[in-house]
Chains A and B, each alone.
Chain A
Amino acid sequence: MRRVVITGLGTIAPNGIGKDAFWDACVNGVSAAALITKFDVSKMPSQIACEVKNFNPADYSLTPWEIDSLDRHAQFGLAAAKQAIEDAQLDLATLDHDRTGVFMGTTNSAPDTFERVWEDVTNKGELSMIGKQLPKEFSYALLSNSAAMSIAIHYGFHGPSIVVSDACSSGVNAVDQATIAIRDGVCDTALAGGTDASITPMGLDCYCVLGAVSRRNDAPTKASRPFDRDRDGFVLGEGSAVMILEEYEHAVKRGATIYAEIMGIANNTNAYHMTALPEGGGPLGQVILEALRRGGLKPTDVDYLNAHGTSTQLNDKSESGAIKAAFGDHAYKLAVNSTKCVIGHTQGAASAHQLIVLCMSLRDQIIHPTINQENPDPECDLDYVPNTAREARLNVVMSNASGFGGFNSSIVLRRLT
Chain B
Amino acid sequence: MTRRVVITGLGLTTPIGVGKEAFWAAAQAGRSGVGRPSLLETMDVPIKVIGEVKDFIAAEHLSKKLVVRSDRNTHFAFASCNEALADAGLDLTTEDKSRIGIVLASNYGGTSYYLNNLVRLHQKGPSFVSAYMAIAWIPSAPVGQLSIFHGITGYTRTYLNDIAGGLDAIGNSCRAIRRGDADVIISGGFEAVIAEASMATMSTFTELCHDASDPATAYRPFDRDRHGSVVAEGGGIVILEELERALARGAQIYGEIVGYAQSTDALDFHSFAPDGKYYARAMHAALHEAGLTPDSVDYFNADGRSTANADQAEANALKVAFGDHLPNLAVSAPKSMTGSMLAGAGPVDVAFAALAMRDNLVPPTINVDHQDPACAINLVISQPRATPISTAMIGARGTGGGNSVLVLKELA
Interface residues of A in 104-126 (CB under 8 A from B): 106-109, 114-115, 118-119, 124-126
Interface residues of A in 222-237 (CB under 8 A from B): none
Say yes or no for B117: interface residue by CB 8 A criterion.
yes
Question: B107-129 vs A: 1/0 string, CB under 8 Å?
Answer: 11100001101110111011101
Q: Contact check: which of A153, A184, A207 meets B401 at CB < 8 Å? A: A153
Contact of B141 with A157 in the complex, beta carbons under 8 Å: no
Report the bound CA distance from A132 to B201 in whole Å.
Answer: 10
Question: B92-112 vs A: 1/0 string, CB under 8 Å?
Answer: 000001100010001111000
Contact of A160 with B262 in the complex, beta carbons under 8 Å: yes
Q: Contact check: which of A115, A128, A152 meets B264 at CB < 8 Å? A: A152
Contact of B117 with A164 in the complex, beta carbons under 8 Å: no
Report the bound CA distance from A165 to B165 in whole Å.
Answer: 11
Contact of A131 with B44 in the complex, beta carbons under 8 Å: yes
Report the bound CA distance from A181 to B300 in whole Å.
Answer: 25
Specify the chain A residue showing the minimal Cβ separation from B120. A125
Q: Which of B40, B144, B145 has the most CB of A within 10 A?
A: B144
Q: Contact check: which of A107, A184, A212 meets B138 at CB < 8 Å? A: A107
Contacts of B46 in A (CB 8 A): 130-131
Interface residues of B in 153-179 (CB under 8 A from A): 153-162, 165, 168, 172, 175, 179
Contact of A271 with B175 in the complex, beta carbons under 8 Å: no
Specify the chain A residue showing the minimal Cβ separation from B156. A269
Contact of A403 with B200 in the complex, beta carbons under 8 Å: no
Contact of B155 with A267 in the complex, beta carbons under 8 Å: yes
Q: A130-B196, A144-B106, A145-B398 are in contact. Are A164 and B144 (CB under 8 A)?
A: no
Report the bound CA distance from A98 to B262 in whole Å.
Answer: 11
Specify the chain B residue showing the minimal Cβ separation from A403. B140
Report the bound CA distance from A102 to B181 in whole Å.
Answer: 22
User: How far apart are B65's CB and chain A's nearest CB, in angstroms?
Assistant: 13
Say yes or no for B355: interface residue by CB 8 A criterion.
no
Report the bound CA distance from A177 to B155 in whole Å.
Answer: 13
Contact of A160 with B263 in the complex, beta carbons under 8 Å: yes
Question: A378-417 vs B: 1/0 string, CB under 8 Å?
Answer: 0000000000000000000000000111110000000000
Contacts of B202 in A (CB 8 A): 139
Say yes or no for B15: interface residue by CB 8 A criterion.
no
SS class, residues of chain B in contact with chain A: mixed
| Segment touching B, from A198-206, A320-328, A329-337 | A198-206
Contacts of B412 in A (CB 8 A): none
Q: A139-B205, A157-B266, A209-B126 are in contact. Are A145 and B139 (CB under 8 A)?
A: no
Say yes or no for A319: interface residue by CB 8 A criterion.
no
Say yes or no for A268: interface residue by CB 8 A criterion.
yes
Say yes or no for B268: interface residue by CB 8 A criterion.
yes
Contacts of A268 in B (CB 8 A): 98, 153-156
Say yes or no for B1: interface residue by CB 8 A criterion.
no
User: How far apart are A153's CB and chain B's nearest CB, in angstroms?
Assistant: 5
Question: A309-326 vs B: 1/0 string, CB under 8 Å?
Answer: 000000000000000000
Contact of B138 with A167 in the complex, beta carbons under 8 Å: yes
Q: Contact check: which of B108, B137, B168 meets A162 at CB < 8 Å? A: B168
Contact of B122 with A158 in the complex, beta carbons under 8 Å: no
Contacts of B137 in A (CB 8 A): 108, 206
Q: Which of B130, B175, B196, B402 has the most CB of A within 10 A?
A: B402
Contacts of B264 in A (CB 8 A): 101-102, 149, 152, 157-161
Q: Name the 5 nearest CB pairs between A and B, nearest first.
A: A405-B144, A149-B400, A144-B160, A160-B262, A125-B119
Contacts of A155 in B (CB 8 A): 266
Interface residues of A in 125-161 (CB under 8 A from B): 125-126, 128-132, 134-140, 142-146, 148-150, 152-153, 155-161
Say yes or no for B131: interface residue by CB 8 A criterion.
yes
Residues of B within 8 A of A (CB): 40, 43-46, 97-98, 102, 106-109, 114-115, 117-119, 121-123, 125-127, 129-131, 133-135, 137-141, 143-145, 147-148, 150-162, 165, 168, 172, 175, 179, 181, 196-197, 199-205, 261-269, 278, 281, 285, 398-402
User: How far apart are B346's CB and chain A's nearest CB, in angstroms?
Assistant: 12
Report the bound CA distance from A153 to B268 in whole Å.
Answer: 6
Q: A165-B158, A206-B117, A267-B156 are in contact. Are A139 and B151 (CB under 8 A)?
A: no
Q: A149-B402, A271-B153 are in contact. Are A114 and B160 (CB under 8 A)?
A: no
Report the bound CA distance from A158 to B115 in whole Å.
Answer: 36
Report the bound CA distance from A107 to B114 in whole Å.
Answer: 14
Contacts of B139 in A (CB 8 A): 107-108, 144, 165
Report the bound CA distance from A146 to B266 in whole Å.
Answer: 12
| Segment touching B, from A18-26, A272-280, A296-304, A351-359 | A272-280
Q: Contact check: which of B123, B133, B204 meets A126 at CB < 8 Å? A: B123
Contact of B263 with A205 in the complex, beta carbons under 8 Å: no
User: How far apart are B84's CB and chain A's nearest CB, in angstroms?
Assistant: 18
User: How far apart are A49's CB and chain B's nearest CB, in angstroms?
Assistant: 14
Contact of B204 with A166 in the complex, beta carbons under 8 Å: no
User: How far apart are B74's CB and chain A's nearest CB, in angstroms?
Assistant: 11
Q: Which of B156, B172, B204 has the most CB of A within 10 A?
A: B156
Say yes or no for A11: interface residue by CB 8 A criterion.
no
Q: A130-B46, A206-B133 are in contact. Are A143 and B262 (CB under 8 A)?
A: no
Contacts of A45 in B (CB 8 A): 126
Q: A160-B264, A166-B156, A268-B154 are in contact. Are A43 and B200 (CB under 8 A)?
A: no
Q: Which of B109, B122, B131, B160 has the most CB of A within 10 A?
A: B160
Q: A166-B157, A269-B153 are in contact. Are A129 and B148 (CB under 8 A)?
A: no
